[in-house]
Amino acid sequence: MVISLSSWYRYLGLKVDYSVSLVRKPYKSGQMTFREAIDAGLKNFFLGKLTYFYWNSAGEEMAPTIGARRGTLLVRKGPTYVFTGDVVLLRDPMKSHNNFLVRRLAGMGGYHEMVPKDEKEEPFVLEKNQCWVSSDNENLKPEEANDSRNFGPVHMTDIVGRVIYSMRTAEDHGPVQNSNSGMKADSEVLEIELDLAEMKIIHLGKDKSVRY
């Protein structure tokens, strides 16, 4: 596949933005010197990627988007540029910091009015830096969905990335349906960083290791 020069320019611009975002906060807080921030930013720009593979093995909450019970996902790093309607990877608020969930971002703080699990309670507006996540599986009851209807709002810093590609099986895979803004922002990233051959190897290896 031939990648256009304009796609490379846009992709490199995204890498610059992400590399700067990684070092901005630690530099401003005094955790890094200027030289350390420059070195870390350059290292990420030249050696890092904007995506990583994630093996999702638990639950049917995101079927059919992700698939029933398991799938290999390509996740774009960082919570900075997520939009309502995106499928996101987030830290599980009900478990340890190292457990993650895949859910759809249904609302963001400041202007989205959400309805609690208990219909007797009044709807409320999310606070700044809060978001509301939901499952895609419409066959599940609210109490089975394990989303914000059960555990409430989630802080935006708990979002670790946007899911941009899903491999349900080695033959069944494709881009994840995110918001229009999200899909537009990810087009060059998918074009340059998606390696289906590598993704299939990882998926088949993980799939064989699952025990039911």
Q: What positions carry a catalytic annotation?
A: 61, 103
Q: At 116, which amino acid appears?
A: P
Q: Which of 99, 95, 93 is nearest to 133 (CA)?
A: 93
Give the count of alpha carbons within 13 A of 24, CB side only: 7
Q: At 61, which amino acid appears?
A: E
Contact 155/129 with Cβ under 8 angstroms?
A: yes
Residue 96 CB contacts under 8 Å (≥ 6 apart), including other chains: none
Strand partners, 73: 54, 166
d(CA 127, CA 77): 24
Strand partners, 188: none
d(CA 97, CA 92): 7
d(CA 119, CA 85): 23
H-run or E-run covering 25: helix 5-28
Q: At 6, which amino acid appears?
A: S
Strand partners, 131: 108, 154
